[in-house]
Structure 1
Amino acid sequence: MSHTVLVQWTITPTIAPRPWLACNRCRTTRPFQTSGKTRLNANGRRLDAWLIYRCGSCDSTWNRPIFERRHVGDIDQATLHALQNNDDGWIEKVAFDIDGLRRDAGRVEEFAEFRLRKTILKAAVEPAQHLEIALNLEMKTMLRTERLLSMELGLSRKRIAVLEQTGRISMTPSGKNALRRPVKDEMRVTIDLASEADRNAILSRAGP
């Protein structure tokens, strides 16, 4: 029998990263934001596709390349269908592709805002002494792990630091300053609450 509560937190970033680009109309560098629309052009059997961005201060647009001069036979049907129908879910994934955006734009502004869905995967045998959090990241985020734990468990960052220093917080994958780095998909955080007087309150906040 286990004295560990296992929960899953599914994290969904809510604000797509914004490229900063030279705007011809504003005559200065401005943040551009995704319009949620794509453009698909055909030249014979070859296709070009872009995600359209708009300047945050005017209506100027920037076409972010998705692919160029790609033969139609080399494009999987799901991608082609998403482009032809401006599929919101597919477009959102492209918009949140921070690495691809950096290759196209250079300077990119990121945001830490998110939605969180909590699910209990396994209840513990009373009294519960450990909390294990399985993190499911739907899209890449700059949200730091310590900030997430502080907000959702009601723990001060100082207290989180003490738990870390005394070995009562462990993470998989581990690494130097892991708590102060952005959350990663499939990361696991385990907290030993055996000696914490408010462990029941912490466990309650961890679940839905």
Structure 2
Amino acid sequence: MALNISKIFFTMTVTAPTFFSLALTGIVKDYENYCDVWRKIWSDKTCLNSFEWWAINGSLLFMLFCIIGVFFYLKNKGKHSEEGKTITVISYSNMSQSGVEQVLSSVIPWLTVFADNLDFIILFFCIVLQGCLIAITSYNNSNYNIICSILGYRYYEVHTEENTYILLSKKCIRNKKDIKSYIDITDYMGLIINN
């Protein structure tokens, strides 16, 4: 059960950079209105009815919670070396080029900056749909997660006699002998235990 929760959690966090881009795009496109709403909050304490304002701030908060959540989750996981599984590595490779599709999906909202009459509500729901598709496709796959990269983790594709794993490490792996054990995060994704 705990493995499924982490799988759902990591699937959700894959979409966070796209929502972050959406929020920044919304701020860039209508900076004056966005700041006016904040001024009204602090001066009038009025109730907010701006969908754009809620969507932008909700997206920013989602990204913040995902970064904080992944940070503490991986930090906590790394402390449980007694749960580690021994691994005999045949070969490994750095997966630094694997995140191209994730980066591209995060850039898509920026393409709308130059559109003059684009309704932010429609853009928001398109991004939500895109986020759902990203989440569905990454649920059963060991996908690259930009948040892990932001936090300084490196992705490694590790081959054993039985399986291939995607393993994360804060430490730069220069030799397959550096990979001796790992802790499961999802089905085929783990965290390398560095001694």
TM-score greater than 0.5 by the shorter chain = no
Q: RCO greater where, 1 or 2, for CA within 8 Å and sep 6 or more?
A: 2
Larger Rg: 1
Structure (1 or 2) with the greater strand fraction: 1
Band of TM-score, shorter chain: under 0.3
TM-score when normalising by structure 1: 0.25
Normalising by structure 2, we get a TM-score of 0.26
